[in-house]
């Protein structure tokens, strides 16, 4: 009888395991208030190491915009960059990335699009958007 109880417990545990993992896969974010008063969902920040060259500082956030709407996305990132470049300067980084990510969609297999805005600190000490240089 004890053996059946242990087997039943194991079967129930294995059946419930996928449900518990679904909750842990949810995106965790923290709200950051911008100077305009708007709040963005920051998914994470931290250095990105490359095999060649110095590390870059990355901010990954979730946008409510469509990634395909580059004009609106650029305006949103410009406001985020105004605050984030202070962190890049304080960390003595020479490059930084702001990664805009759409909210993941789907039930079992979640998919989303992202677009990275890359910034570089030039010899004059000023930050320049590599994507922005193409807009001119």
Q: Which of 79, 130, 127, 76 is nearest to 101 (CA)?
A: 76
- Of 9 and 124, more confident: 124
What does the pLDDT read at residue 119?
Answer: 97
Q: What's the average model confidence in pLDDT over 29-58?
A: 92
The domain segmentation of the chain, as residue ranges, is 28-135
Instruction: Please tell me whether the overall predicted TM-score, pTM, comes out greater than 0.85 for this model.
Output: no
Cα dist. 64→10, 20, 28, 33, 44 in Å? 42, 27, 16, 15, 17
Q: Which of 118, 116, 112 is nearest to 66 (CA)?
A: 112
**What's the CA gap between 60 and 101, in Å, rounded?**
7
**What's the CA gap between 90 and 44, in Å, rounded?**
17
């Amino acid at each position: 009888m004890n053996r059946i109880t242990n087997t039943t417990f194991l079967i129930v545990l294995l059946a419930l395991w996928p449900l518990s993992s679904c909750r842990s896969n949810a995106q965790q974010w923290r709200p950051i208030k911008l100077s305009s008063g708007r709040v963005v969902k920051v998914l994470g920040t931290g250095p990105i190491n490359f095999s060649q060259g110095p590390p870059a500082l990355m901010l990954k956030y979730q946008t409510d915009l469509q990634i395909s709407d580059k004009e609106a996305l650029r305006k949103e990132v410009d406001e985020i960059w105004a605050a984030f470049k202070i962190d890049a300067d304080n960390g003595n980084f020479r490059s930084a990335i702001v990664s805009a990510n759409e909210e993941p969609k789907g039930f079992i297999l979640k998919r989303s699009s992202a677009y990275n805005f890359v910034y570089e600190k030039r010899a004059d000490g000023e930050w320049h958007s590599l994507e922005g240089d193409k807009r001119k």
